[in-house]
Structure 1
Amino acid sequence: MTERTINVIREAFTEPDEFTSSPLYRALSRTVAAEERLLALAARGRAGQYPTFLFFGAVHQLLLAGAEHQLACYYPSVAGPDALAPDEAAGPALLDFCLRHETELTGLISTRLVQTNHVQRALGLRIGLAEIARHTDAPVHLIEVGTSAGLNLRFDRYGYTLGGRRYGDPASPVQLVAALHGPDTLPDLDALPATASVHGVDLNPVDVRAQADRRWLEALVWPENLDQRRLLAAALDLVAADPPRVLRGDAVDVLPALAAELPPGEPRVVFHSATRLHVPLDRRAAFDAAITAVGTAGPLWWLCVEDGPDPDPRPAASRRDRVGSALRLRDPDGDDHTLAVVEGHLRWVETLQADPDDSSRLEGDEEGRFAR
């Protein structure tokens, strides 16, 4: 393990901007960043895995499985409403827990993948499909890369409330609610293209019917996000009754064969959210090329939620109050459009001022962002 690797891990824990709704993880991150033994443990994950998510997911899984320790008192997911707010004792508790359970944690960190299933992100897929429906009335072949348990692929079985307006199935046990901001209107989210086929691709597909896999997904939900935990459980139960087809393997290797199965000339949609950041830097160009190649034999719509808009076209107040990611769509002509800026878990959507000339090329830069 090189000093450079440890420094990269330390940097991730020093400024954990991703934990916007987890005061506990923000507090515990400071302990990890300052403790070499914890950094060495966190560095045992596979290449490309985001260390903060993987490390805290492993700790959380052991606590959810019943490991008894003072650290559990700080986790609302374990201690319930009596959970303690993070204080000066939380950091030492984390260190002691990790040293006591180093073997189990090493096993989880070195073998598991970060496979967050924020079912709320199905809203981003639905918005993208509604936009695609404005340009084609043909059935589409839907592929999600990094699909994990395939929850987003059952987007058509959920109910949605966006800005007070309802879409989808009002009787579904999975109801997704998001705030709506911005000057423009969205397309009708009930006017969607038919789906000719649905496929997922994942390095390590999650079996929604396996208790161990479900527990790992639950552990990846931050301890304070109790509503998200309940939503995840409802979605897992729904999808377990009819799981979509998910192919195991690296998208770089799997997508060409999958694309060859699709009827020539028929449109296909590739969707991914918070997936590309887990692809090792030296594989990202190949990742992008594999997605692009899906369009060799038919029109390709490439939809993603990965990075923030750059530049951010929103007013200064929006940029200050709502830091979000771009919901981007590349059309079959190769033109790219930012459909909206969204909260990373799609808790809110902000539309942008309509601009008929809003198109540019998306190129993957050395940091893995989509550079505009």
Structure 2
Amino acid sequence: MNDASMYADFARREARGVSPMYRRLSLAICDDEEILTLLQTVPESKRQPSLLLGVVRLLGGPLDDPVAFHDFTVSNWSAVAAELRARATQTHEAGRCALLLPVLAALPQPLALLEVGAAAGLGLYPDRYVYRYDDRVIGSSGPVLDCVLTGTAPPARLPEVVWRAGLDLNPLDVTDPADVAWLEALIWPEHHRRERLRAAAAIAAADPPALTRGDLVDDLPGLAAQAPPDATLVVFHTSVLYQVPAVRRGLFVDLVRGLPGHWIAVEAPQVLSYEGLPPAPDEALHNVLSLDGTPLAWTRGHGQAMAWFA
């Protein structure tokens, strides 16, 4: 898929009905030869829509008008390109914990959580949030995570977590205003998720997780070995592996399958493939939730909906 097609696909499958502003900008970019030419000057992995839009937002660029966005991006391209090269889409939306909860609550307790691609570690606190699946509420304190759940009953309890650790090439610090500013820049402009991010960041700052700078293949076994032996180890990741080259992705899958405990993945079916998947609920972009390599549900990118089919 070339860059123009990638932005058109983003507008059609991800932003439509979710962010009118990002849909309008993405449609403009896919026809903007000047910006598309500039994107060719950075590595392919740094051209993705969510990264470009987040970087321009971080730099104070306008998002409400495609012409103004074009002018700002072109005139400030050296700064934009530098940020694209230095950063990654570390959104790590806390709302994705609503996708993990039905699996986590059903595993033998207590749990030792190890998140691959942890960013600031906000996904390591599924026991500290409140979940609302339609009219069913689980939890009593923390930010509220809404998820439309179909195909299965909501979980009956929160998990018991006794150990939390994260692995990331560039872990972020929720006590660092610059890191929090980047996380906020990645939130789509119309969304209320900024308040949720700040509430989740406050939880993490009060009880910081153990975040390790490292590679998901080279450094995962050593970190997993630190988990307490009397807890169920759960290695998990959400929307991470698309940033990993295919060869390293395959090595990671082989490695994580051999670890003790369980493996939860929430990734696009083009990234982790499964045989016999049912059709997705609609043409919007969906990921697949899986446990130990078995697909369980279609999920939306920010945790806003899950269609269980297992």
Same fold at TM > 0.5: yes
| Aligned with residue 100 of structure 2, among 118, 125, 139 | 125
What corresponds to 2:146 in structure 1?
A: 177
Distance 2:203 2:87 in 1: 24
Deviation at 1:254, TM superposition (A): 1.2
What corresponds to 1:211 in structure 2?
A: 177
1:326, 1:341 within 8 Å by CA — same for their partners in 2?
yes
Deviations 1:304-334 (A, max 9, x none): 11125764436xxx7238763222111xxxx
Residues 323, 61 of structure 1: alpha-carbon distance in 2 compared, 3 angstrom cutoff: closer
One-letter identity of the residue aligned with 1:303: I
1:161, 1:167 within 8 Å by CA — same for their partners in 2?
yes
Residues 93, 323 of structure 1: alpha-carbon distance in 2 compared, 3 angstrom cutoff: closer
Report which stretch shifted further, 140-149 or 45-54: 45-54
Residues 53, 323 of structure 1: alpha-carbon distance in 2 compared, 3 angstrom cutoff: closer
Residues 53, 200 of structure 1: alpha-carbon distance in 2 compared, 3 angstrom cutoff: same
Aligned 1:196-207 pairs, distance under 5 A:
196-207=162-173
Deviation at 1:286, TM superposition (A): 1.9
Deviation at 1:188, TM superposition (A): 2.1
Q: How many residue pairs end up in the alignment?
A: 303
| Aligned with residue 161 of structure 2, among 195, 220, 240 | 195
Deviation at 1:30, TM superposition (A): 2.6
Distance 1:50 1:197 in 2: 36
Pairing 1:343–2:300 present: yes
Distance 2:222 2:46 in 1: 25
Pairing 1:59–2:56 present: yes
2:116, 2:216 within 8 Å by CA — same for their partners in 1?
yes
Deviations 1:251-275 (A, max 9, x none): 1111022133345686311110011
Distance 1:199 1:96 in 2: 42
Pairing 1:224–2:190 present: yes
1:181, 1:351 within 8 Å by CA — same for their partners in 2?
yes
Distance 1:22 1:320 in 2: 17
Distance 2:223 2:44 in 1: 25
Structure with the greater alpha carbon radius of gyration:
1
Distance 2:247 2:41 in 1: 19
Distance 1:101 1:38 in 2: 11
| TM-score w.r.t. length of structure 1 | 0.74
Deviation at 1:338, TM superposition (A): 2.9
Deviations 1:104-161 (A, max 9, x none): 21221110111012110011222221122xxx34x33211001101001012111111
What corresponds to 2:248 in structure 1?
A: 283
1:143, 1:270 within 8 Å by CA — same for their partners in 2?
yes
| Aligned with residue 6 of structure 2, among 4, 9, 12 | 12
What corresponds to 1:160 in structure 2?
A: 131
Pairing 1:245–2:245 present: no
- Give the root-mean-square deviation of aligned CA atoms: 2.5
Residues 323, 31 of structure 1: alpha-carbon distance in 2 compared, 3 angstrom cutoff: closer
| Aligned with residue 327 of structure 1, among 289, 292, 301 | 289
Distance 2:121 2:277 in 1: 31
Residues 49, 125 of structure 1: alpha-carbon distance in 2 compared, 3 angstrom cutoff: farther
One-letter identity of the residue aligned with 1:39: L
Distance 1:99 1:112 in 2: 19
Pairing 1:100–2:75 present: yes
2:127, 2:161 within 8 Å by CA — same for their partners in 1?
no
Residues 206, 40 of structure 1: alpha-carbon distance in 2 compared, 3 angstrom cutoff: farther
